[in-house]
C-alpha cells in the first residue's frame, strides 16, 4: 500500500498550497532584490559636470556631503553651495558653521522632503540652471527619479560613498522603496 494513499487528499492539497505560496514569496523577494540592489547599493555613477550653477547638498547635511560640496567648489564646478537643513537642531543653519560662509546658503525646504528640496532648487534657481545634487548612495536613484519629475534645473546627482551595516541597509531598502512608492503616487508633493 502506498504511503500517499494514507494521507487524505485534502491534507495533500493544503501542503501543496503552502509550497506554492512559499515559492511565490521567494520569487517576489528575489525579483525585488534584483531591482533594489542595483538601484540602492550600486546606482549608476555620474560624474559632476565641469561647470554648474550650484552645488546642492540635500538633507541631512552630513560632514561627508559638505566636504564633497566644498571640494567640488574648490575644483571650480560652481561658486555657490546650497544646503538643505532642518529648521532646528544640530544640523540647522544656526548650528552649522559652514552656513556662515558667504558662498554657502543654508535653507529649510518646505516640505522637508526630496520633492520639497527640488521645489527649493526651483525657487532659488530657474529652469536654465544646472545643479550638482549631493546625497548618499541608497538615495541616488530616488533623487534622480524625483529630480526628473520635479526639478526645473538640469540636475546631476552624485553620492558620497556610504558604509552601512546589514541592519542599516535593510532599513534603507524599506525606506527608499516607500519613498519611491510615494513619489509615484504623489509626484512633487
Q: Domain limits of the chain?
A: 7-41, 54-161+176-185
Residue of 143, 139, 135, 142 lying closest to 159 (CA atoms): 135
Cell 558620497 sits at which residue? 160
Sheet holding 80-84, edge to edge: 104-107, 80-84, 54-57, 130-136, 154-160
CATH assignment of 54-161+176-185, among 1.10.760, 3.90.1200, 1.20.1280, 3.40.50: 3.40.50
pTM given for the model: 0.85
Contact 168, 139 (CB under 8 A): no
pLDDT at position 166 is 92
pLDDT at position 6 is 62
pLDDT at position 37 is 76
Residue of 184, 24, 29 lying closest to 176 (CA atoms): 184
DSSP state of 131: E
Q: Which residue blocks in the chain are alpha helix, DSSP H?
A: 9-36, 63-74, 114-124, 140-150, 166-185
Mean per-residue pLDDT pooled into runs of 10, the chain (189 residues): 56 67 74 74 89 96 97 98 96 95 97 97 96 97 97 97 92 94 92
Amino acid at each position: 500500500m502506498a504511503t500517499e494513499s494514507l494521507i487524505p487528499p485534502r491534507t495533500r492539497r493544503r501542503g501543496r498550497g503552502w509550497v506554492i505560496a512559499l515559492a511565490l514569496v521567494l520569487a517576489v523577494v528575489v525579483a525585488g532584490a534584483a531591482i533594489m540592489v542595483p538601484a540602492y547599493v550600486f546606482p549608476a555613477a555620474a560624474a559632476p559636470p565641469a561647470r554648474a550653477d550650484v552645488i546642492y547638498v540635500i538633507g541631512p547635511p552630513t560632514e561627508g556631503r559638505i566636504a564633497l560640496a566644498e571640494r567640488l567648489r574648490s575644483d571650480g564646478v560652481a561658486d555657490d553651495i546650497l544646503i538643505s537643513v532642518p529648521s532646528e537642531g544640530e544640523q540647522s543653519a544656526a548650528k552649522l558653521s559652514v552656513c556662515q560662509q558667504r558662498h554657502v546658503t543654508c535653507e529649510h525646504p518646505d516640505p522637508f522632503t526630496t520633492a520639497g528640496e527640488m521645489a527649493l532648487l526651483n525657487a532659488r534657481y530657474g529652469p536654465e540652471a544646472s545643479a550638482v545634487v549631493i546625497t548618499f548612495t541608497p538615495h541616488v536613484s530616488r533623487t534622480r527619479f524625483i529630480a526628473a519629475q520635479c526639478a526645473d534645473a538640469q540636475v546631476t546627482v552624485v553620492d558620497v560613498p556610504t558604509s552601512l551595516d546589514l541592519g542599516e541597509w535593510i532599513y534603507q531598502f524599506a525606506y527608499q522603496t516607500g519613498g519611491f512608492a510615494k513619489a509615484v503616487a504623489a509626484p512633487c508633493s
